[in-house]
């Protein structure tokens, strides 16, 4: 379970202090898929970055399975490679690597053997329906295929938490539905927690729960429920 | 630089190096330019260095063959003038020679008598600097003595040698000044070892050039026995020890030193003390040229290093900037900054190795070409003769140049990549 308490984050832009997050609390159960919704500037990307340990300059406390989040850069990198997965809006695959190598990358970081990397990456690509594309480079794959490779990469090392930032924003609706299905299916199957920042109502609708942020604060439960009903 | 090289790289390189190679191919033109700059730098360094090595070796051999690799003399012989000719000379030369000639690295031991006086053609006189040598001296000098006309001194034991016609070899300018040619006679006037004047007539056997105008104006060679007769002394000025390999000079010097000390200790008569001077201590021209060239090549190397650094820094900075989002992604996935930097270092390393290999190859080809094509260099300052342009291809030099270029490339890549990995991940991920 992930718990976060009193998360505060402020930026200074143009000499003005902006409170991006202002004491956000919450918890997410293991295996849950949570949509993080809110208008632009509400702080959802900021919260996502903090929960993904991409931004460590915040106040507040985050625990995962009872353990506090690391606060030191190298420890954070180690934590990310072992326990976190990421899916980005623009896929962010490494262009010189094949689909197989992209998927195997987290295993390589975790010192798995070459054989294990190959086997598990091949298996994961087959699970996302890309068994025939293992040796394709990203520029030879469609947007939907690239995002599926990215999902496979995010899940290959069985992370506790996958952070997904607008994973369907660059996809057409058919492909977006396919990607959502894969994320949900694999997430439940592998017991992986997903936090998905999205503007896409289809995505939010398919999540187990929606957390809405407004002006750097959690919206009241009613608003969250409303958001779900809006999404549905 | 297309699919073929990509496929080849899959089989030939380990994954990390293959990815570095593929990253370089992402902007092939830029990588090619960097490789060319590195290749030109390595070519320039190895060629200039090879030219320097050739010059050093030529001067080294020339000096060693002129003075001998080692010179045995009385202590301080080269520091102060003699009161009388041969007053500081060596006695008992036969025994000394015998104790040295047995060394397997010694090619020959040649006695010399240095003297000076007046040389005259009967109507005109001028100062000379004479050297009494035996005929084998010219074998030791090899190609470093340029006989312009006539021959070198004959063997005094040869039946063809006429003791009534002592021979002399004159420097070209000295012969020109005296208006004499081969077969003409000159008179040498010198002070004997006890201060009297003595004069002998000599027949001109040969005319030679040392390549140094000042020497050609004054220098002459006569047989050592004749020189000793002229100076009325049985001593010699020095003993020149010629070796098969110049590189063994210091080793042989130590051995001879030990042998001389042993001989001296075993004899009740302690005899004269002997000083051994290696050729380097008498090679003033060599030392000055080497100092000058070392500085020129040092500056050239520094300029090349700067060019390579700026070029590589530019290439790697552009590469890092273009791949900022990728760096952000790799960081987000948990790569340590050092791992990301290592990737860029591998790319720079590949550029350096490929560029160095090409530079070394071109340098080798040019070196071979110069063996076939005769390009003459103008005479160096203070010399009359030019010399053929040659470039030594030295693997050691290539190794040093490659190592230097590699270090510079790695440094450039490190500074560029460090800037990239220090960018906050959240900023890097949204970088366009």
Chain B residues touching residue A86 (CB < 8 angstroms): 329, 332-333
Burial of B183 (0-12, 13-18, 19+ CB in 10 A): exposed
Q: Chain B within 8 Å of A96 (Cβ-Cβ)?
A: yes
Q: Chain A within 8 Å of B22 (Cβ-Cβ)?
A: yes
Chain A residues touching residue B429 (CB < 8 angstroms): 54, 88, 92
Residue of B27, B334, B342 best to disrupt the A interface, most CBs of A under 10 A: B334
Give the pLDDT of residue B162: 83
Chain A residues touching residue B426 (CB < 8 angstroms): 49, 54-55
Q: Chain A within 8 Å of B335 (Cβ-Cβ)?
A: yes
Q: Chain B within 8 Å of A97 (Cβ-Cβ)?
A: yes
Residue A11 lies in a domain: no
Q: Could B333 and A49 be called an inter-chain contact, meaning their C-beta atoms sit closer than 8 Å?
A: no
Give the pLDDT of residue A51: 94
pLDDT in single tens digits along all 432 residues of chain B = 455 555 555 556 688 888 899 999 988 999 999 999 999 999 999 999 999 888 888 888 878 888 889 999 888 888 878 778 888 888 888 888 888 888 889 988 989 999 999 999 989 999 999 999 988 878 777 666 788 999 889 888 888 788 888 999 999 999 999 999 999 999 999 999 888 899 999 999 999 998 888 889 999 999 999 999 999 988 899 999 999 988 899 999 999 888 888 777 766 555 568 889 999 888 888 888 889 888 998 998 899 889 989 988 998 899 899 999 999 999 999 999 999 999 999 999 999 999 999 999 999 999 999 999 988 888 877 777 778 888 999 999 999 999 999 999 999 999 999 989 999 999 999 887
Give the pLDDT of residue A230: 45
Q: Are strands A16-28 and B167-171 parallel, antiparallel or unpaired?
A: unpaired
- DSSP assignment of B230-269 equals HHT-S-BSEEEEEES-GGGHHHHHHHHHHHHHHHHHHSSS
Residue of B nearest to A73 (CA): B336
Q: Chain B within 8 Å of A56 (Cβ-Cβ)?
A: no
Residue of B nearest to A109 (CA): B335
What's B84's DSSP letter?
S
Give the pLDDT of residue B194: 87
* DSSP-assigned beta bridge partners for residue A213: A218
Q: Could A96 and B329 be called an inter-chain contact, meaning their C-beta atoms sit closer than 8 Å?
A: no
Chain B residues touching residue A92 (CB < 8 angstroms): 325-326, 328-329, 332, 429
| Whole-structure pTM value | 0.77
- Going by C-alpha positions, the residue among B329, B293, B334 that lies closest to residue B430 is B329
Give me the interface pTM, i.e. the ipTM. Answer: 0.91
Distance CA A146, CA A136 (A): 10
What's A111's DSSP letter?
T
Compute CA B286 distance to the chain's CA centroid, rounded to the nearest angstrom. 8
Phi/psi of residue B276, each to 5°? Answer: -110, 125
What's B90's DSSP letter?
B
Chain A residues touching residue B10 (CB < 8 angstroms): none
Q: Chain A within 8 Å of B353 (Cβ-Cβ)?
A: no
pLDDT for A154-207, tens place per residue? 999 999 999 999 888 888 888 888 888 888 888 888 889 999 998 888 788 888
Please, are residues A37 and A232 in contact by the beta-carbon 8 Å criterion?
no
Give the pLDDT of residue A221: 61
What's B123's DSSP letter?
S
- Going by C-alpha positions, the residue among B365, B297, B403 that lies closest to residue B53 is B297
Mapped onto helix, strand or coil, the DSSP state of residue B193 is coil
Distance CA B181, CA B175 (A): 7
Task: Please determine, for residue A4, whether its predicted confidence score (pLDDT) is greater than 70.
Answer: yes
Give the pLDDT of residue B378: 85
Q: Could B326 and A88 be called an inter-chain contact, meaning their C-beta atoms sit closer than 8 Å?
A: no
* DSSP-assigned beta bridge partners for residue A214: A217
Please, are residues B406 and B353 in contact by the beta-carbon 8 Å criterion?
yes
- DSSP assignment of A190-222 equals HT-EEEEE---HHHHHHSSEEEEEETTEEPPHH
Longest dimension (CA), chain A: 53
Q: Could A54 and B326 be called an inter-chain contact, meaning their C-beta atoms sit closer than 8 Å?
A: no
For range A9-35, the mean pLDDT: 89
Distance CA A26, CA A47 (A): 11
Chain A residues touching residue B424 (CB < 8 angstroms): 55
Distance CA B224, CA B80 (A): 22
Chain B residues touching residue A109 (CB < 8 angstroms): 333-335, 339
Residue B332: partners with Cβ closer than 8 Å, 6 or more residues away = A52, A54, A80, A86, A92, B425, B429
Give the pLDDT of residue B315: 87
Chain A residues touching residue B330 (CB < 8 angstroms): 94
For range A206-213, the mean pLDDT: 89
Please, are residues B233 and B89 in contact by the beta-carbon 8 Å criterion?
yes
Distance CA A76, CA A49 (A): 12
**In Å, what is the CA distance from B396 to each residue of B26, B53, B169, B401, B402?**
34, 11, 42, 9, 10
Phi/psi of residue B157, each to 5°? Answer: -85, -10
Residue of A nearest to B327 (CA): A94
Q: Are strands A33-37 and A193-197 parallel, antiparallel or unpaired?
A: parallel
Residue of A96, A114, A150, A158 best to disrupt the B interface, most CBs of B under 10 A: A96
Structure tokens, B70? 């080692």
Q: How far is A94 from chain B (nearest CA, A)?
A: 7
Structure tokens, B40? 């030109």
Give the pLDDT of residue B13: 67
How many Cα atoms occupy the beta-carbon half-sphere of B255 within 13 Å? 16
Give the pLDDT of residue B69: 92
Q: Chain B within 8 Å of A10 (Cβ-Cβ)?
A: no
* DSSP-assigned beta bridge partners for residue B188: B119, B200
**In Å, what is the CA distance from B223 to each residue of A68, B130, B185, B229, B241?**
98, 10, 15, 10, 18
pLDDT band (50, 70, 90) for residue A11: confident
- H-state helical runs in B267-335: 284-322, 324-332
Chain A residues touching residue B328 (CB < 8 angstroms): 92
Compute CA B142 distance to the chain's CA centroid, rounded to the nearest angstrom. 17
- Going by C-alpha positions, the residue among B75, B80, B91, B68 that lies closest to residue B193 is B91
Q: Could A96 and B26 be called an inter-chain contact, meaning their C-beta atoms sit closer than 8 Å?
A: yes
Structure tokens, B265? 């200790």
Helix (H) or strand (E) holding A67: strand A67-68
Give the pLDDT of residue B60: 84
Structure tokens, B356? 């160095």
- DSSP assignment of B365-430 equals HHHHHHHHS--EEPPPTT-S--EE------HHHHHHHHHHHHHHHHHHHHHHHHHHHTS-HHHHHT
Q: Chain A within 8 Å of B26 (Cβ-Cβ)?
A: yes
CATH label of the domain that carries residue A134: 3.40.50.300
- Domain total in chain A: 1
Long-range CB pairs of B93-99 (<8 Å, 24+ gap) are: B93/B235, B93/B236, B93/B239, B95/B263, B96/B72, B96/B239, B96/B260, B96/B274, B97/B239, B99/B259, B99/B260, B99/B263
Cα angle for residues B97, B99, B105 (degrees, 5° grid): 90
The beta strands (E) that lie in B135-225 are given as: 146-150, 167-171, 185-191, 197-209, 219-223
Burial of B347 (0-12, 13-18, 19+ CB in 10 A): buried
Q: Could A86 and B332 be called an inter-chain contact, meaning their C-beta atoms sit closer than 8 Å?
A: yes
Q: Could B333 and A80 be called an inter-chain contact, meaning their C-beta atoms sit closer than 8 Å?
A: yes
- Going by C-alpha positions, the residue among B174, B185, B178, B177 that lies closest to residue B207 is B174
Q: Chain A within 8 Å of B424 (Cβ-Cβ)?
A: yes
- Going by C-alpha positions, the residue among A213, A186, A180 that lies closest to residue A7 is A213
More confident residue, A230 or B66: B66
* DSSP-assigned beta bridge partners for residue B199: B189
Q: Could B326 and A95 be called an inter-chain contact, meaning their C-beta atoms sit closer than 8 Å?
A: yes
What is the domain range of residue A124?
Answer: 29-57+70-231
pLDDT band (50, 70, 90) for residue A222: very low
Residue of B nearest to A108 (CA): B335
- Going by C-alpha positions, the residue among A168, A3, A153 that lies closest to residue A85 is A153
Distance CA B124, CA B108 (A): 38
Q: Chain A within 8 Å of B331 (Cβ-Cβ)?
A: yes
Compute CA B118 distance to the chain's CA centroid, rounded to the nearest angstrom. 36
Task: Please determine, for residue A85, whether its predicted confidence score (pLDDT) is greater than 80.
Answer: yes
Cα angle for residues B276, B213, B127 (degrees, 5° grid): 80
Q: Which of A81, A82, A92 has its CB closest to that of B329?
A: A92
Q: Which of A74, A79, A97 has its CB closest to that of B336?
A: A74
Chain B residues touching residue A113 (CB < 8 angstroms): none
Q: Could A86 and B22 be called an inter-chain contact, meaning their C-beta atoms sit closer than 8 Å?
A: no
Give the pLDDT of residue B189: 95
Q: Could B334 and A80 be called an inter-chain contact, meaning their C-beta atoms sit closer than 8 Å?
A: yes
Phi/psi of residue A5, each to 5°? Answer: -130, 130
Give the pLDDT of residue B223: 93
Phi/psi of residue A14, each to 5°? Answer: 60, 35
Give the pLDDT of residue B395: 93
Phi/psi of residue A21, each to 5°? Answer: -130, 135
Residue of B6, B329, B418, B430 best to disrupt the A interface, most CBs of A under 10 A: B329
Q: Chain A within 8 Å of B19 (Cβ-Cβ)?
A: yes
């Amino acid at each position: 379970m992930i718990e976060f308490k009193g998360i505060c984050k402020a930026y200074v832009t143009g000499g003005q202090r902006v409170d991006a997050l202002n004491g956000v609390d919450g918890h997410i159960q293991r295996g849950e898929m949570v949509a993080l919704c809110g208008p632009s500037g509400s702080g959802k990307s900021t919260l996502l970055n903090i929960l993904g340990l991409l931004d460590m300059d915040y106040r507040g406390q985050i625990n995962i399975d009872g353990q506090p989040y690391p606060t030191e850069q190298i420890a954070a990198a180690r934590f990310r490679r072992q326990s976190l997965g990421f899916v980005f809006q623009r896929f962010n695959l490494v262009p010189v690597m094949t689909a197989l190598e992209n998927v195997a990358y987290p295993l390589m970081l975790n010192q798995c053997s070459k054989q294990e990397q190959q086997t598990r990456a091949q298996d994961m690509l087959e699970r996302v329906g890309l068994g025939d594309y293992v040796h394709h480079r990203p520029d030879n794959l469609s947007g939907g295929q690239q995002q599926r490779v990215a999902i496979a990469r995010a899940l290959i090392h069985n992370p506790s938490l996958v952070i997904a930032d607008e994973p369907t924003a660059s996809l057409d609706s058919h492909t977006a539905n396919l990607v959502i299905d894969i994320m949900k299916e694999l997430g439940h199957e592998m017991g992986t927690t997903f936090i998905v920042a999205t503007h896409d109502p289809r995505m939010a609708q398919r999540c187990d729960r929606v957390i809405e942020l407004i002006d750097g604060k959690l919206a009241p439960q009613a608003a969250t429920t409303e958001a779900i009903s809006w999404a549905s | 630089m297309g699919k073929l090289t990509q496929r080849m790289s899959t089989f030939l390189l380990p994954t990390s190096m293959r990815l570095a190679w593929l990253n370089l191919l992402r902007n092939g033109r830029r990588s090619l330019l960097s490789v060319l700059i590195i290749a030109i730098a390595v070519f320039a360094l190895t060629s200039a260095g090879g030219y320097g090595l050739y010059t050093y070796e030529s001067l080294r051999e020339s000096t060693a063959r002129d003075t001998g690799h080692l010179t045995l003399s009385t202590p301080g012989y080269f520091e102060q003038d003699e009161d009388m000719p041969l007053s500081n000379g060596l006695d008992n030369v036969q025994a000394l020679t015998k104790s040295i000639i047995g060394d397997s690295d010694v090619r020959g031991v040649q006695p010399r008598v240095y003297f000076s006086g007046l040389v005259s053609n009967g109507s005109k006189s001028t100062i000379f600097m004479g050297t009494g040598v035996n005929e084998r001296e010219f074998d030791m000098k090899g190609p470093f003595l340029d006989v312009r006309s006539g021959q070198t001194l004959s063997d005094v034991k040869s039946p063809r040698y006429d003791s009534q016609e002592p021979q002399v070899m004159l420097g070209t300018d000295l012969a020109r000044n005296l208006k004499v040619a081969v077969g003409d006679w000159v008179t040498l006037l010198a002070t004997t070892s006890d201060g009297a004047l003595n004069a002998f007539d000599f027949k001109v056997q040969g005319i030679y050039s040392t390549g140094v105008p000042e020497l050609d104006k004054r220098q002459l060679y006569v047989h050592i026995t004749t020189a000793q007769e002229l100076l009325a002394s049985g001593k010699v000025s020095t003993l020149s020890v010629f070796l098969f390999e110049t590189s063994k000079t210091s080793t042989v010097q130590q051995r001879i030193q030990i042998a001389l000390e042993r001989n001296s200790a075993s004899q009740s008569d302690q005899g004269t003390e002997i000083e051994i001077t290696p050729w380097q201590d008498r090679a003033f021209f060599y030392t000055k040229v080497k100092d000058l060239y070392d500085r020129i090549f040092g500056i050239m190397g520094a300029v090349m290093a700067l060019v390579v650094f700026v070029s590589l820094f530019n290439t790697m900075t552009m590469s890092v900037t273009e791949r900022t989002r990728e760096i952000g992604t790799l960081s987000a996935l948990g790569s340590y900054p050092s791992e990301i930097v290592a990737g860029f270092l591998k790319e720079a390393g590949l550029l350096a190795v490929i560029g160095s290999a090409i530079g070394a190859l071109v340098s080798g080809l040019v070196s071979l070409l110069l063996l076939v094509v005769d390009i003459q260099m103008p005479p160096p300052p203070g010399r009359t003769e030019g010399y053929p342009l040659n470039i030594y291809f030295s693997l050691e030099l290539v190794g040093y140049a490659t190592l230097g270029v590699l270090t510079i490339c790695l440094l450039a890549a490190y500074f560029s990549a460090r800037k990239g990995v220090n960018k906050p991940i959240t900023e890097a991920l949204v970088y366009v």
